[in-house]
């Protein structure tokens, strides 16, 4: 009886998919009613404790910049035992790790608080300290995230982890990197899991509505996990498949037992 009920649910789900596919699949279905949506005020990726950054100080005189790019107290992206790679004789891609208090150590100028700052804000502050300290008059600082990733799970075509190379990335861009949601993805309840101030916070966004763009989680941060839940049609189909496997297994067992019984009876009669 339960199997018949599940079969009916599945047929209704298929019928619903055929009759109204746009209602479940198309993003921002109220765009005509709400064409202008306010974005979150703070949508750039900001530095957090334990982030790994590459910091390169440059100058017209490389010898003046060299002490700030010293290989002490950081690792390199390469396996070079000296802790740096070299491009045209200039050390680069040195990785420095932000400590748990949100501070970054720089040779000569010491610790700088960087948690909550963008890459450009931190680069400007480091450059200012170097210039004001009288070390280099034309200091230029370049900062990049060394290994910034986001994670996309659930009902998407290619779940996995993805590298982020820009200061901004939206939820839609992350989904596109994962090949978009499958037809079974629940677009009305997409979760973004984020660590904030030592706590784990879960945001839910309804991508069928334009209001999702105003969510603080529409623009992702490093380490965010995007989870696309299965819709009710996927759940119904999965339960049917599970029950079908059970009944097939049960029938196979019954046939095997019956065959064994017939073999025993036949052997006994021959005696």
- Here the CATH number for the domain that contains residue 95 is 3.30.1950.10
Q: Are 158 and 33 members of one domain?
A: yes
What pLDDT is recorded for position 88? 38
What pLDDT is recorded for position 263? 67
Does pLDDT of 141 surpass 90? yes
Residue 126 CA, chain-centre distance (Å), reads 30
79 part of a folded domain: yes
- Here the CATH number for the domain that contains residue 170 is 3.10.560.10
252 part of a folded domain: no
The whole-number average pLDDT for the span 6-11 is 48
Does pLDDT of 20 surpass 70? no
What pLDDT is recorded for position 94? 76
> Binning pLDDT at 50, 70 and 90, where does residue 270 land?
low
The structural domain count of the chain equals 2
What pLDDT is recorded for position 257? 63
- Convert the pLDDT of each residue in 210-221 to its tens digit: 999 999 999 999
What pLDDT is recorded for position 235? 56
- Percent of residues in the chain assigned helix, strand, coil, to nearest 5: 35, 25, 40
Q: Are 166 and 227 members of one domain?
A: yes
- Convert the pLDDT of each residue in 95-111 to its tens digit: 899 999 999 999 999 99
> Binning pLDDT at 50, 70 and 90, where does residue 78 land?
very low
Expressed as residue numbers, the domain containing 35 is 2-44+148-232
Does pLDDT of 115 surpass 60? yes
Helix (H/G/I), strand (E/B), else coil: 54: strand
For residues 174 and 45, is the Cβ–Cβ distance under 8 A?
A: no
Q: What's this model's pTM, rounded to 2 decimal places?
A: 0.69
Query: How confident is the prediction for the chain on average, in pLDDT?
Result: 79
Q: Are 30 and 79 members of one domain?
A: no
Q: Are 61 and 114 members of one domain?
A: yes
Q: Could you give the C-alpha distances from 204 to 15, 160, 170, 177, 218, in angstroms and in order?
A: 28, 20, 14, 20, 10
């Amino acid at each position: 009886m339960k199997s018949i009920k599940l079969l009916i649910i599945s047929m209704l789900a298929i019928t619903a998919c055929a009759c109204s596919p746009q209602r479940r699949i198309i993003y921002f279905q109220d765009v005509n009613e709400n064409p202008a949506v306010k974005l979150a005020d703070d949508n750039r990726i900001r530095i957090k404790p334990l982030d790994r950054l590459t910091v390169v100080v440059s100058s017209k005189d490389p010898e003046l910049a060299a002490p700030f790019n010293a290989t002490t107290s950081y690792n390199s992206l390469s396996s070079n035992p000296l802790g740096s790679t070299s491009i045209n004789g200039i050390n680069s891609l040195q990785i420095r790790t932000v400590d748990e208090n949100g501070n970054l150590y720089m040779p000569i100028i010491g610790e700088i608080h960087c948690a909550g700052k963008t890459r450009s804000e931190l680069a400007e502050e480091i450059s200012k300290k170097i210039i004001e300290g009288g070390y280099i008059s034309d200091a230029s600082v370049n900062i990049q995230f060394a290994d910034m990733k986001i994670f996309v799970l659930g009902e998407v075509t290619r779940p996995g982890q993805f590298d982020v190379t820009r200061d901004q990335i939206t939820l839609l861009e992350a989904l596109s990197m994962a090949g978009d949601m499958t037809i079974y993805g629940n677009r009305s309840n997409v979760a973004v899991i984020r660590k904030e101030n030592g706590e784990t916070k879960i945001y839910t966004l309804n991508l069928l509505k334009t209001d999702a763009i105003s969510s603080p989680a529409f623009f992702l941060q490093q380490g965010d996990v995007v989870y696309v839940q299965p819709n009710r049609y996927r759940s119904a189909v999965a339960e049917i498949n599970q029950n079908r496997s059970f009944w097939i297994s049960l029938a196979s067992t019954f046939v095997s037992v019956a065959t064994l019984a017939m073999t025993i009876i036949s052997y006994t009669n021959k005696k």
